[in-house]
Chain A
Amino acid sequence: MTATLATPLAEPVNDWARLAAKARSRRRTTNVLLYGFLALGALPILVPYLWLFTVAMSGRTGASTTVLWRTLAVLIPALFIWSMLRLGMEPGRRLRLIEIGLAIVAVALLVVLTGPYLHLDNWRFLWNPDIADALKGVSGIGAKFPSVWTAFWNSLFLAFVQMTIVVTVATLAGYYLSRFDFPGRSGYMKGLLVLHAFPAMTLIIPIFLIIYWIGLLDTLAGVILVIAALELPFAIFVMKGFFDAVPWDIEMSAMTDGASRRQAFRLVVLPQVRIGMLAIGIFAFLRGWEEYVFVRTLLLQKQNWTMSLYLFWMREDVMGTDYAMVSAMGVFYVLPSILLYAFTQKYLTQMTIGGIKG
């Protein structure tokens, strides 16, 4: 009995280290499980992109599947080892060196295992518009394909002009809705919401007829107007939210400082909503860049093809589709979007759609 009483209830102080180690290992286990789960969830999203890329780089040699599996066989263990290193080691010079070593090994393995199968043959559409000749069949569109660069510039033009219209109109309309009261304002706001919720596909026949009657069928201008009109309701709503967040004081101050309303808008208010303009601009650009349904409906001539139409005809129009080239075209098509996101995601994540006041 005396022995048990002599033992203190609290653990001795030198066990703090053990407790800290326990907390560390628990934190580490949580991290491993969390990252493992997230990685698993990301796999179905990332593998198709990887597949697209490997097929584009190695297709039509009969080895594209081999390349995909070998790439995965290198990448997945490498990523696994890397995350284990990150979780298991303290950050420092040693970890950095091991990481660099791991990267070199992984790249070397990739080169050795898949290098012999890689080629740029599928990308020939970039410099040789006469792709149909190289294919097994004969072009069904009855003539040579246009250069992919025609489609590229068309898409770029469409996306850019559409973006300019959307940003300009949405900014002005958002400001007006945010600052001015006018009869029917709340009805207008509700209308915007309904328009945004309205499925645009159901409008496709009336839109075709309208565009035909006003003589814009088979012109890029027609498509630009249609897409801009469909993009505007949401963009206006976003911009109104941004303007709502700019305090009145600043504008009043500018006006007592001697600025006209327009000068106050340009010099003081507009710089506060740059992020919003950037955001709706990027979304509008991507919408124009990726547009398929309306360009398919409203554009007929080859000279007016956009990237999506080019991709469509490349797949559709030849007997025996060259999937490797379609994949290469797909990579070429998606690249600008990815670059745009990569450079602007910093700003896009700052975007919150401001409080919606009546």
Chain B
Amino acid sequence: MAVIELNGVTKRWGDVVAVEPTDLRIENGEFVAILGPSGCGKSTTLFMLAGIYAPSAGQIRFDGAVVNEVEARDRNVGIVFQSYALYPNMTARANIHFPLRFKSVRPEEAARRVEAMAALVQVGELLDRRPSEMSGGQQQRVALARALVKEPGLLLLDEPLSNLDASLRLTMRGEIRRLQRRLGVTTILVTHDQIEATTMADRIICMSKGRIEQIGTADALYHHPDSVFVAGFIGSPPINLISGDAANGGLRVGEVGLPFVGAAPGKVTLGIRPEAVRLGEAGHAARIGDLEPHGRETIYHLDTPFGPLRALEAGAVARFRVGDQVKIDVERALVFDAGGRRLGDTIPPRPA
């Protein structure tokens, strides 16, 4: 319903830069997640889009038109806050109806829309309750209905699932995704939870310290991260990051030498995904330091010639015990320079 563009959008609070100049384009009907740790500027970006904060520089465009000076109430944006921000003095019905009070909608049409939207998010029978009489999940649904009832051009979700318990979060994740597909509304989700971002969004914008680190699909961010930050932020269990040195057209990490061309002499960081570490009969000698059974998979903590490594192996039953000597083989390693940018990939050689 709307194409969102950011051209050099910046936000400064005094001398502190909350969001560095940012360029971004979000297509009509797309579901985009802004992912990053707290304080990375993701909520600030969201509030600039909503019109609550004014950008310090740059332009925000909705369908090509600059909206920097348009007030929040005229932007036709729906927003769901982390706290839901339901109006405690109003019933669910009045809450959902609230945005329609400021539109020229006939009363019976408004009532019909409120009912329809409530039914869509499955709170039809709760309409006469107040927020204090509803559970967190129900409040969440009401907040969603309120954001959607005016048919916004842009739906903003600010950490909408972080106050829900684990199982409800799983349910709501699917529901929000389905709802978004059905209504086709352009949606931006702000979250610090990588699972939320990867499971719900078409594209993920990974932010750190007010800067966009990488934009891409969940797959791209996982397998081809541009930086150590993205590699470390995405993936659970997290990627193994080991520091090493580059010299003489190769790398040295721990006791292992790796072939790699293109690294300037100096410090490098090697990133190895836990599932890229294969436990078997051949390869580098390693010892099982500890293991965590997770049901359908097992995480091994290994002492290896590379240094300590986490390895992930599928299978309900652990094949090894603590203290066992095993052989490991590393399928793929990512190489990052001292500044954290990715230089490329390498395959560590298998010892004879």
Which A residues are within 8 Å of any B CB, using their own CB?
247, 249-250, 252-260, 263, 267-268, 271-272
- Residue contact A255 to B85, C-beta cutoff 8 Å: no
Q: How far is the CB of A81 from chain B (nearest CB, A)?
A: 44
B121 within 8 A of A: no
Q: Which residue of A lies closest to B103 (CB)?
A: A258
- Residue contact B89 to A247, C-beta cutoff 8 Å: no
- Residue contact A258 to B85, C-beta cutoff 8 Å: no
Provide the residues of chain A in CB contact with B101, threshold 8 Å.
258-259
Which B residues are within 8 Å of any A CB, using their own CB?
47, 50-52, 71-75, 77-79, 81-83, 85, 87-89, 98-99, 101-103, 146, 150
- Residue contact A256 to B87, C-beta cutoff 8 Å: no
Report the separation of the CA atoms of residues A181 and B187 in the bound assembly, to the nearest whole angstrom: 33
- Contacts A247-B83, A249-B81 given; does A256 touch B89 at CB 8 Å: no
- Residue contact A253 to B89, C-beta cutoff 8 Å: no
A258 interface neighbour in B81, B87, B150, Cβ under 8 Å: B150
Report the separation of the CA atoms of residues A260 and B98 in the bound assembly, to the nearest whole angstrom: 13
Q: Which residue of A lies closest to B156 (CB)?
A: A256
Provide the residues of chain A in CB contact with B71, threshold 8 Å.
255
Report the separation of the CA atoms of residues A270 and B50 in the bound assembly, to the nearest whole angstrom: 23
- Contacts A258-B99, A258-B101, A258-B150 given; does A253 touch B73 at CB 8 Å: no
B83 interface neighbour in A249, A255, A272, Cβ under 8 Å: A249
- Residue contact A271 to B85, C-beta cutoff 8 Å: no
Q: How far is the CB of B52 from chain A (nearest CB, A)?
A: 5
- Residue contact B73 to A255, C-beta cutoff 8 Å: yes
Provide the residues of chain B in CB contact with A259, threshold 8 Å.
73, 98, 101-102
- Residue contact A252 to B73, C-beta cutoff 8 Å: no
- Residue contact B88 to A252, C-beta cutoff 8 Å: no
Provide the residues of chain B in CB contact with A257, threshold 8 Å.
73, 98-99, 102, 146, 150
Closest 9 interchain pairs by CB?
Answer: A258-B102, A249-B85, A271-B89, A253-B85, A257-B99, A258-B73, A255-B72, A249-B81, A256-B79
Report the separation of the CA atoms of residues A263 and B79 in the bound assembly, to the nearest whole angstrom: 18
Provide the residues of chain A in CB contact with B50, threshold 8 Å.
252, 256
Q: Which residue of B lies closest to A255 (CB)?
A: B72
- Contacts A272-B88, A272-B89 given; does A256 touch B73 at CB 8 Å: yes
Given contacts A247-B83, A256-B77, A256-B79, 5 further A-B contacts (CB under 8 A): A253-B79, A255-B51, A255-B52, A255-B72, A257-B98
- Residue contact B52 to A256, C-beta cutoff 8 Å: yes
Q: Which residue of A lies closest to B82 (CB)?
A: A249
Provide the residues of chain B in CB contact with A268, threshold 8 Å.
87, 89
Report the separation of the CA atoms of residues A253 and B160 in the bound assembly, to the nearest whole angstrom: 14
Pairs A–B under 8 Å by Cβ, sample size 19: A247-B85, A249-B81, A249-B82, A252-B47, A253-B79, A253-B87, A255-B51, A255-B72, A256-B51, A256-B73, A256-B75, A257-B102, A257-B150, A258-B73, A259-B98, A268-B89, A271-B87, A271-B88, A271-B89
Report the separation of the CA atoms of residues A267 and B88 in the bound assembly, to the nearest whole angstrom: 11
Report the separation of the CA atoms of residues A260 and B88 in the bound assembly, to the nearest whole angstrom: 19
Report the separation of the CA atoms of residues A260 and B73 in the bound assembly, to the nearest whole angstrom: 7
Interface centre among B78, B83, B87, B103 (most CB of A within 10 A): B87
Provide the residues of chain A in CB contact with B146, threshold 8 Å.
257
Report the separation of the CA atoms of residues A281 and B327 in the bound assembly, to the nearest whole angstrom: 79
Q: Which residue of A lies closest to B74 (CB)?
A: A258
Provide the residues of chain B in CB contact with A258, threshold 8 Å.
73-74, 99, 101-103, 150
Provide the residues of chain A in CB contact with B79, threshold 8 Å.
252-253, 256
- Residue contact A250 to B150, C-beta cutoff 8 Å: no
Provide the residues of chain A in CB contact with B83, threshold 8 Å.
247, 249
Interface centre among B47, B78, B79, B82 (most CB of A within 10 A): B79
- Residue contact A250 to B85, C-beta cutoff 8 Å: yes
Report the separation of the CA atoms of residues A271 and B94 in the bound assembly, to the nearest whole angstrom: 14
Provide the residues of chain B in CB contact with A272, threshold 8 Å.
88-89
Report the separation of the CA atoms of residues A161 and B89 in the bound assembly, to the nearest whole angstrom: 28
- Contacts A247-B83, A271-B89 given; does A256 touch B102 at CB 8 Å: no
Q: How far is the CB of A18 from chain B (nearest CB, A)?
A: 47
- Residue contact B87 to A254, C-beta cutoff 8 Å: yes
Q: Which residue of B lies closest to A271 (CB)?
A: B89
Report the separation of the CA atoms of residues A271 and B87 in the bound assembly, to the nearest whole angstrom: 9
Report the separation of the CA atoms of residues A254 and B95 in the bound assembly, to the nearest whole angstrom: 10
B81 interface neighbour in A253, A260, A263, A267, Cβ under 8 Å: A253
Report the separation of the CA atoms of residues A260 and B103 in the bound assembly, to the nearest whole angstrom: 13
Provide the residues of chain A in CB contact with B87, threshold 8 Å.
250, 253-254, 267-268, 271
Report the separation of the CA atoms of residues A260 and B102 in the bound assembly, to the nearest whole angstrom: 9
Report the separation of the CA atoms of residues A127 and B72 in the bound assembly, to the nearest whole angstrom: 62
